[in-house]
């Protein structure tokens, strides 16, 4: 199944559907929105990355085991977006983007940032892969089988 890594210029309805899709697949919800000429706004929500959405096909004992184990580690799930701030500053320096365009908001597992239109899709795809790598490493270290936890859904707008 091909994963929809980000959504570009979504309608409000598509935005809501995409969040549900991301939650079912435990992937970051990254949406590219129009900011102003030359810039796009990346709206990043990493809450779905650590969403516990288990398939109904699991037996009750297995569901209870996973839920209890997840509850025990929930407070240790990493804050994904804080590491972006130094990378974002470096991006501005590398491409000589005026500081007046610098906009980073959020914290915890949500962020919003301005990027040049020409770079928005490349950066969104990179951030998706970056967050998935963190997710996979975290769950592997904690002894979770992600394939049992993910309820795969197709993206059909």
Chain-centre distance of CA 121, in angstroms? 14
- Residue environment code for 76-112, b if the CB has 16+ CB neighbours within 10 A, otherwise e: ebbebbeebeeebeebbeeeebeeeeeeeebeebebb
Q: What is the pLDDT of residue 57?
A: 62
Higher pLDDT, 61 or 124: 124
Q: What is the pLDDT of residue 54?
A: 58
Average pLDDT (51-57) is: 63
What region, left, alpha or beta, does residue 152 occupy, with left being phi > 0 and alpha being psi -120 to 50 degrees? beta
């Amino acid at each position: 199944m091909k994963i929809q890594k980000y959504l570009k210029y979504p309608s409000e309805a598509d935005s809501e559907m995409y969040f549900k899709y991301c939650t079912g697949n435990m992937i970051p919800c990254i949406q590219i929105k129009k900011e102003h000429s030359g810039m796009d706004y990346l709206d990043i929500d990493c809450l779905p990355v650590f969403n516990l959405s288990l398939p109904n096909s699991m037996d009750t004992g297995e569901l209870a085991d996973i839920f209890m184990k997840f509850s025990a580690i929930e407070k240790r799930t990493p804050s994904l977006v804080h590491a972006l701030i130094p990378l974002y500053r470096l991006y501005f320096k590398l491409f000589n983007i005026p500081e007046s365009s610098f906009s980073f908001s959020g914290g915890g597992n949500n962020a919003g940032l301005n990027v040049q239109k020409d770079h928005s899709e490349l950066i969104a795809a990179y951030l998706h892969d970056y967050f998935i790598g963190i997710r996979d490493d975290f769950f592997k270290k904690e002894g979770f089988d992600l394939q049992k936890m993910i309820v795969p859904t197709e993206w059909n707008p």
